Amino acid sequence: MTIPPKPPSRSDKVSLWRYAKLFRTDILSAQPARLYRAWMAEFKTPFFRSYLVNQPELVKTVLKDRPEDFPKSERVSEGLRPLLGNSVFITNGELWKRQRRIIDPAFEGGRLRETFPAMWDAAEAAVKRLDAQVGETIEIEAETSHAAADVIFRTLFSIPIEHHLAQAVFSEFRNYQRSQPLLNIAALVPLPRWMPRFFNKGTKESAKKIRRLIAELTRERFVQIAAGTAPDDLATKIMTTADPVTGDQFDEIEMADHVAIFFLAGHETSASALAWALYLMATHPEWQEKLATEARVLGTCDFGVMSKLRLSRDVFREALRLYPPVPMLVREAACPENFRDRNVKKGSQVVISPWHLHRQERLWDNPDGFDPTRWQTENGRKCGREAYIPFSAGARVCTGAGFAMVEGPLLLSRILRDFRIEALPDRVPVPVAHLTVRSDQGIWLKLERR
């Protein structure tokens, strides 16, 4: 059986200087191989201590049992602040709670059925674009980015990716991706608070341009809401929802902050997961054929069809296990702790790595192998409950997790219904972590019509 690629691990003993140089290449390959078995690891620098916790009980403590004692680390999120402002991705405490009370109703189960037609239309548009490239070798990450962005704009603002503002945001976001430094650079080699941060000028300029475009979209929607002409989509739902505690609603700046994070989280992460799922199908043709057969149920737009895409859902879950879009979650200890006989001082970074937890050799059967049937086994079900966090967990679990688990299997099935994909033996992608887990040189697949 083909083992999906993963980045090489460094040797256990390297200098801090060597470690920092590895970080500039990729945070995943900078980590030692022992982290795939360790329950916990300590990373020491002249300025700071970071602790990676890789034991389900500790992960549960941090994310589920005591999330307020482990708020999001500002050191990691500050690099994204020019784009995301004070969005729910960055904030902590009472402000974060207020934001979630306003946002969460838009993503409740019943809303998924209402947004499904927009997802369906985006899937049909993606297939049409791919149909024009039959017989060619294509870079599939570019195609999944296009499709995921289309889903976001159709569900959020009821406009397709071809709309001039949507196209402008999408194009500028690609510039932002290329210039953005590693998101997790501060996760395991944090800098002291007094040391100045240097951000790429192009990154800040791209963030400003994206913000201006998003502000134009949100202002236009506020006008439509006031006039009673706004479509009933996610943006309208969020903009018209009042906090049940304070009665407040989002103003234009707050809404722009959250449109930015919806686009970043909903587009970038979905594009990453779908690209890796398609690569796994290209390298496991027997599974590709199973999904293509199952996808024959996709006829007309009907939300009920999602319950019939069981294999596609299992494949997508397995892709999220092997290639979690967000490979590391960084928290800060708000008070002194003792984990596994280690004293964790107040202010220390506590890192939870879905990348390592999902491949923890002490927990998973065949941790590096691709096996969608694992979710029906006792080991898979247990690990799915205790060691599977592609959308984080607890109070800060991703609001759009249910959304993503409809979008991903739908797009995957719809593509495989019409096309056969084949991997290129001489172009094996190596995962690297930038904004999300992507391939170092893209994911190249040959596309044929069924």
Give which of 321, 358, 357, 432 is closest to 40, Cα–Cα. Answer: 357
Between CA 38 and CA 436 the distance in angstroms is 23
> What is the rounded CA–CA span in Å between residue 298 and residue 305?
7
**What is residue 198's predicted lDDT score, i.e. its pLDDT?**
43
Which of 195, 227, 191 shows the shortest CA–CA distance to 47? 191
Mean pLDDT on 258-281: 91
User: Is the CB of residue 307 less than 8 Å from the CB of residue 28?
Assistant: no
Mean pLDDT of 393-412: 95
Confidence of residue 47 (pLDDT cuts 50, 70, 90): low
pTM (whole model) above 0.85: yes
State whether residue 337 is helix, strand or coil: strand
Q: Quick one: 251 exposed, middle or buried, by C-beta within 10 A (0-12, 13-18, 19+)?
A: exposed
Find, among 264, 209, 206, the residue nearest to 436 by Cα.
Answer: 264
72-86, 290-304, 357-371: the lowest-pLDDT one: 72-86
Token pair for 257: 């902050």
Q: Select from 62, 54, 16, 61 the least CA-distant residue to 33.
A: 54
| Ramachandran area for residue 142 (φ above 0: left; ψ -120 to 50: alpha; else beta) | alpha
* pLDDT mean over 247-268: 90
Taking the C-alpha atoms of residue 8 and residue 135, their distance in angstroms, rounded to an integer, is 33
Mean per-residue pLDDT, 367-373? 97
So what's the pLDDT on residue 197? 47
| pLDDT score of 199 | 52
Provide the pLDDT for residue 176.
Answer: 76
More confident residue, 356 or 84: 356
Question: 76-85, 234-243, 337-346, 381-390 — which is least confidently predicted?
Answer: 76-85
Work out the mean pLDDT of the chain and round it to a whole number. 88
Burial class (CB in 10 A: 0-12, 13-18, 19+), 445: buried
Surface-to-core class of residue 63, CB atoms within 10 Å of its CB (0-12 exposed, 13-18 middle, 19+ buried): buried
> Lowest-confidence range among 261-265, 332-336, 391-395?
261-265
Three-state DSSP string of 31-44? CEHHHHCCCEEEEE
> For residue 31, which of 359, 309, 294, 283 has the smallest C-alpha distance?
359
pLDDT of residue 267: 86
Q: Output the pLDDT for position 30.
A: 72
pLDDT band at 10 (very low <50, low <70, confident <90, very high): low
pLDDT at residue number 13: 56
Domains of the chain in sequence order: 16-449 (1.10.630.10)
| CA 235/CA 68 separation, integer angstroms | 29
Structure tokens at 367: 């941790």
Q: With contact defined as beta carbons under 8 Å apart, do 63 and 393 qualify? A: yes
H-type alpha helices, 54-200 = 56-60, 74-77, 81-84, 93-103, 109-131, 140-157, 164-179, 185-188
pLDDT band at 85 (very low <50, low <70, confident <90, very high): confident
For residues 419 and 12, give the distance between their C-alpha atoms in angstroms, rounded to a whole number. Answer: 44
CB 13 within 8 A of CB 292: no
Share of the chain above pLDDT 70, in %: 87
User: Could you report the per-residue pLDDT of 214-223, keeping only the tens digit for each?
Assistant: 999 999 999 9
Q: How confident is the model at residue 194 (pLDDT cuts 50, 70, 90)?
A: very low
Element (H, E) at 407: helix 401-418
Q: Please state, for a pLDDT cut of 90, what percent of the chain lies above it.
A: 67
Determine the Cα–Cα distance for residues 386 and 407; give it in Å rounded to an integer: 24
* pLDDT at residue 187 in the model: 46
Q: Cβ neighbours of residue 208 under 8 Å, at least 6 residues apart?
A: 82
Q: Which one has a higher pLDDT value, 305 or 12? A: 305
Beta bridge partner(s), residue 331: 72, 350
Nearest to 126 by CA among 161, 158, 159: 161
Residues contacting residue 216 through CB under 8 Å, at least 6 positions apart? 165
Is the confidence at residue 81, as pLDDT, over 90?
Answer: no
Q: What pairs with residue 422 in β-bridges? A: 446
